[in-house]
Amino acid sequence: MRAVRWAIPGAAVLLVLTACARGTGGGDGTAAPSFDPDADVSGKLTVMGFGAGDEIGETRLERAKKSMPDVDVSLIEGDLDIQAFLSAVAAGDPPDVVYANRDQIGTFASRGAVVPLDECYASQDVDQDAFRDAALAQVTFGDQLYGVPEFNQVQLTMANQSLLDAAGLTIEDVNGSDWDAVTAATTALSKSDGGTVSVIGYDSKMPEFLPLWAKANGADLLSEDGRTAQLDDPKVLEALEFAVNVYDVQGGFAGVKSTRDAADFFGSGNQFASSTLGAMPMEQWYVNVLNENSPDAPMAFDAFRTPEGEPLAYATGSAWAIPAGSANPEAACRFAASMVSFDSWMAAAQARADAREQEGLVFTGVLTGNEKADDEIRSTLVDVTDEPWASGVNAMYEANDHTFALPANPADSEFKTAWQDAVNRVLNGQQEPAEALAQAQEEAQKALDAAWERWDGGSTD
């Protein structure tokens, strides 16, 4: 076995991977560990990329530890360091279980860095049907499961009701259901003072939300099988042009970004509380931030909607995976299964609800990635009746039922870099949208072809 290096375009690291034949470290699963539900587990379990952090993490972590009393669980806290992780795999000294973004799983699997988990699911009676479809699809590669998903991040429309009222607008004007209305509302809501944007009328949240706007317009950035980039689709171009024009009618992206970056985003002086932002699509966790830090902010909420008025959200989240060469895969499997079990989610949600009550705050729910847990948490623990927060919670759960995700593929980082760099070039005035997307299409497809060729050819080289 030898170590090879491969670069992710636009990234600052070289990823060090073990070069081995397909199937020896993941691949088709021929050398994947067997998982015995009756086996005794003991020894050490090293977890990389996860920090308990809050009561949601702490409660589940303690339950997982208690379920394996003879296992010494140690955390390498902080976000996953991809270079450190893949270098450890290459050196034959990986952590036992890793916590990663779901969109990284396909690349890890294609490189033989993580092992298939179909037998792990079966050994622990993990209910695949309970997971959100989009979440499960992101950890499925080559018709095998390589991750155990958890959490869901979705977007909803958030707006300042006072600014809407003053402009004679409603939440329907900014929820995405009418793009002309969004542009008109942007013009009506935005304000400039001496060339400086003092009030952002609407923030389309570019570059990161291009997949959302494209999907709303009927286009996917990537084919369903994860093999073909579709960045030059005319509908993607139309979505990009619209989302960028939202900034153009406010004087350009630079001015909007400057005002956005200066905001006290996580504090009591956030953009909505200070009435310096009219509306934007944003992940659901920000509802809780607003409720905690600026409960009197004049908010309005709705799902993000397509031009047909249908709710839509671009789902992202995390997943547990077992590295190739894990010294304790059996314990790793049980740990992952415990962290996403229905009972663990319910206990964690109860802990969060209790903590919120003690702080005099409302519990706005938690999106687990598990449909059954989500439904039970909402029906038994979420009791928000005061507006506007009740509308925010309803929008969150509506969005969670109407999600999509980019398919698992072996070149996710390169693919993401291609389209995000393209959007940034447009925002910075370096290229026109059509030219930028044409370049991104070429870059993305080249990366996909090379990665799929390695996989199809039976090698992780």
**Tens place of pLDDT for every residue, the chain, 461 residues?**
222 222 333 333 333 343 443 443 443 343 678 888 888 899 999 999 998 779 999 999 999 999 999 999 999 878 899 999 999 999 999 999 999 999 999 999 999 999 999 999 999 999 999 999 999 999 999 999 999 999 999 999 999 999 999 999 999 999 999 999 999 999 999 999 877 999 999 999 999 999 999 999 999 999 999 999 999 999 999 999 999 999 999 999 999 999 999 999 999 999 999 999 999 999 999 999 999 999 999 999 999 999 999 999 999 999 999 999 999 999 999 999 999 999 999 999 999 999 999 999 999 999 999 999 999 999 999 999 999 999 999 999 999 999 999 999 999 999 999 999 999 999 999 999 999 999 999 999 999 999 999 988 765 55
Backbone region of residue 180 per phi and psi (left: phi > 0; alpha: psi in -120 to 50; beta: other values): alpha
Cα angle: 213, vertex 219, 224; to 5 degrees:
120
Per-residue pLDDT, 226: 96
DSSP alpha helices (H): ranges in 79-223?
A: 82-90, 105-110, 118-123, 133-138, 161-166, 179-189, 210-216
Joined tokens for residue 312 = 């839509």
Q: Is 365 helix (H, G, I), strand (E, B) or coil?
A: coil
Rounded CA-CA distance 381/441 in Å is 46
Beta bridge pairs of residue 129: none
- pLDDT for the residue numbered 460: 52
392: helix, strand or coil? helix
- How far is the C-alpha of 73 from the C-alpha of 332, rounded, in Å? 10
In contact, 208 and 406? CB cutoff 8 Å: no
Contact by Cβ (8 Å): 320, 148:
yes
Q: Show Cβ contacts of residue 380 under 8 Å, excluding neighbours closer than 6 positions.
A: none
Counting every residue written for the chain, the total comes to: 461
Strand 313-314, strand 403-404: pairing: parallel
pLDDT tens digit sequence for 381-439: 999 999 999 999 999 999 999 999 999 999 999 999 999 999 999 999 999 999 999 99
Q: Nearest 5 degrees, angle CA 233-CA 204-CA 300?
A: 135
What is the structure's pLDDT at 78?
84
Q: Which residues pair with 160 in a beta bridge?
A: 299
Check if the beta carbon of residue 206 is closer than 8 Å to that of residue 389.
no
Q: Which residues, including other chains, have CB under 8 Å from residue 241's CB and lie 6 or more apart?
A: 433
Type of residue found at 158: M
The interaxial angle of helices 234-248 and 433-456, nearest 10 deg, is 130
Predicted model pTM: 0.91
The pLDDT of residue 14 is 32
Cross-strand partners of 302:
157
pLDDT at 456: 85
Give the residue ranges of DSSP H helices in 31-117: 55-67, 82-90, 105-110
Which pLDDT score is estimated for 27?
39
Please give the single-letter amino acid code of residue 348. A
**In whole angstroms, what is the distance from residue 9 CA to residue 79 CA?**
21
Angle (CA) 302-306-309 rounded to 5° is: 65
Distance in angstroms (rounded) separating the CA atoms of residues 181 and 167: 13
